């Protein structure tokens, strides 16, 4: 089987075209390609977070130490605001020292967001009369309200309600159950 010179030339051109079509040119594919955001680490070792189609981003290496501290503090404040239940000792409406930082974070949030409202729900354990426990739940809710107001929140943002012993968090007649039922819950609306 002999191939003509013309067939050989066509086969050679076809092979060259196939190789050329499979090779890359080394150009990046910035227009809608995958290579535009691949390098997430900049040359100084910081990371860059890209913010959408405008190719703008925030580089952690470009942040000052003060900005980093402020961002960290803001994240801590947001984490503290995840805590919305505050516990009390038996027969008292005194706010525990460990609750103060968390309540401060809530007060700052309310001060910064004047349209945000919160309901303070006071509770008591089952010991004592219904009337006494309603009054105790109210004293606890009012104590939290006063603390929030002193630390920047507005009275108009808050409503207090006492459920006394009517809505226990835990059923039972043990010290553990009672301790979980002596509380004020913040319900943001």
Q: How many CB atoms lie within 10 A of CB 120?
A: 23
In a domain, 106, yes or no: yes
Write the DSSP string, the chain: -PPPHHHHHHHHHHHHHHHHHHS------TTT-SGGG---B-TTS-BEEE-STT--EEEGGGS-HHHHHHHHHHHHHHHHTT--EEE--TT--PPPGGGHHHHHHHHHHHHH-TT--EEEEEE--SSS-HHHHHHHHHHHHHHHHHHHHHTT--GGGEEEEEEETSS-SS-SSSHHHHHHHSEEEEEE-
Among 10-14, 52-56, 61-65, 166-170, name the one with the lowest average pLDDT. 52-56
Q: Assess whether pLDDT exceeds 50 at residue 2.
A: yes
Reported confidence tier of residue 112, pLDDT bands at 50, 70, 90: very high
Bridge partners (DSSP) listed for residue 161: 121
Q: Assess whether pLDDT exceeds 90 at residue 61.
A: no
Q: Assess whether pLDDT exceeds 50 at residue 148.
A: yes
In a domain, 140, yes or no: yes
Among 19-28, 32-41, 135-144, name the one with the lowest average pLDDT. 32-41
In a domain, 157, yes or no: yes
Is the model more confident about 111 or about 77?
A: 111
Domain limits for position 130:
85-188
Q: Which residues 6+ apart lie within 8 Å of 114 measured at CB?
A: 154, 157
Reported confidence tier of residue 38, pLDDT bands at 50, 70, 90: very low
Average pLDDT, the chain: 80
pLDDT at 67: 84
In a domain, 171, yes or no: yes
Is the model more confident about 34 or about 146?
A: 146
Give me the number of domains the chain comprises.
Answer: 1
Average pLDDT over residues 4-13: 59
Which residue, 21, 27, 64, 59, is CA-closest to 40?
59
In a domain, 123, yes or no: yes
In a domain, 62, yes or no: no
In a domain, 2, yes or no: no
**What's the CA dihedral at 138, 139, 144, 145 to 10 degrees?**
70
Residue 93 sits in a domain of what CATH number?
3.30.1330.60
Q: Assess whether pLDDT exceeds 70 at residue 52.
A: no
> pTM for this one?
0.63
Average pLDDT over residues 154-182: 96
pLDDT at 126: 95
pLDDT at 120: 98
In a domain, 39, yes or no: no
């Amino acid at each position: 089987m002999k191939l003509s010179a013309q067939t050989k030339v066509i086969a050679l051109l076809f092979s060259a075209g196939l190789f050329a079509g499979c090779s890359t040119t080394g150009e990046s594919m910035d227009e809608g390609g995958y290579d535009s955001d691949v390098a997430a680490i900049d040359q100084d070792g910081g990371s860059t977070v890209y913010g959408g189609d405008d190719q703008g981003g925030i580089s952690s290496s470009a942040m000052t130490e003060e900005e980093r501290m402020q961002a960290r503090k803001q994240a801590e404040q947001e984490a503290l605001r995840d805590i919305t239940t505050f516990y009390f000792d038996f027969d008292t409406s005194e706010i525990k020292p460990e609750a103060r930082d968390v309540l401060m974070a809530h007060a700052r949030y309310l001060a910064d967001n004047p349209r945000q409202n919160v309901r303070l729900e006071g509770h008591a354990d089952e010991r004592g009369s219904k009337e006494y426990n309603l009054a105790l739940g109210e004293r606890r809710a009012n104590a939290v309200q006063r603390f929030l107001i002193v630390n920047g929140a507005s009275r108009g943002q808050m409503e207090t309600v006492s459920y006394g012993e009517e809505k226990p968090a835990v059923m039972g007649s043990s010290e553990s159950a009672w301790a979980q039922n002596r509380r004020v819950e913040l319900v943001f609306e």
